[in-house]
Structure 1
């Protein structure tokens, strides 16, 4: 915990390492996570479709960040963290003239959540 997943269009210019570092820092400061518990998985998508536009034109890109946290954070804490995530995305994705659709959400990990390290 936290389990962070970043799904994004492959076509964006994204400083993923700096974003992850800043996101982990924000998650520790805002949601009281432990630094060593922050884990982020990036999943670039090969194909992004938007509305009825021709996807080959690549005029739109998508990035969605999901943060899975142990239950117990207030709605205010979650809102502050998602707003911070969006601000970090603005700073770490280059404006290449495409329309960027960015979103973030926090979900509570189910009580059945378990993990191991090796």
Structure 2
């Protein structure tokens, strides 16, 4: 914990500083949500196809990124809101403007009580 997933349009691959974003996001999660640095794990998942409204997907005029952070229960709504706002600010700084409109979103969810993990 935390379990972080970043889904994003593959067309923004060259514009997205994923390593820098992950580092900054881990630091923010430690500071804001009291996570341990070694517990922060982020999985980036590029989407092979992005459709936006009625736009021809071949135009690549829009890119989408959505960040989901799963935390153990117990964080206040204020903490979650602060972290999601920080995620959006970090995305602004780690996705270069490359000729597409960026649609970014983030959410914090509580991990289910059944959550378990192991490290090897």
Shorter chain as denominator, the TM-score bin is over 0.9
Aligned length: 118
Quote the offset at 1:97 in angstroms: 2.0
* Deviation sequence 1:67-86 (CA, Å, 0-9, x none): 00000000000000000000
Match of 2:101 among 99, 102, 114: 99
> Runs in 1 of length 4+ with deviation above 2 angstroms?
none
Give the superposed CA RMSD: 0.4
Query: Which residue number corresponds to residue 76 of structure 2?
Result: 74
Q: Tell me which protein shows more helix as a share of its residues.
A: 2
Query: Which residue number corresponds to residue 7 of structure 2?
Result: 7
Unaligned runs of 5+ in 2: none
Unaligned runs of 5+ in 1: none
Partners of 2:96 and 2:48 in 1: CA distance? 18
SS where residue 114 of structure 1 aligns? coil
Partners of 2:11 and 2:96 in 1: CA distance? 11
Give the 5 Å matches for 1:17-28. 17-28=19-30
Partners of 1:73 and 1:97 in 2: CA distance? 38
SS where residue 111 of structure 1 aligns? coil
Query: Which residue number corresponds to residue 91 of structure 2?
Result: 89
Quote the offset at 1:33 in angstroms: 0.2
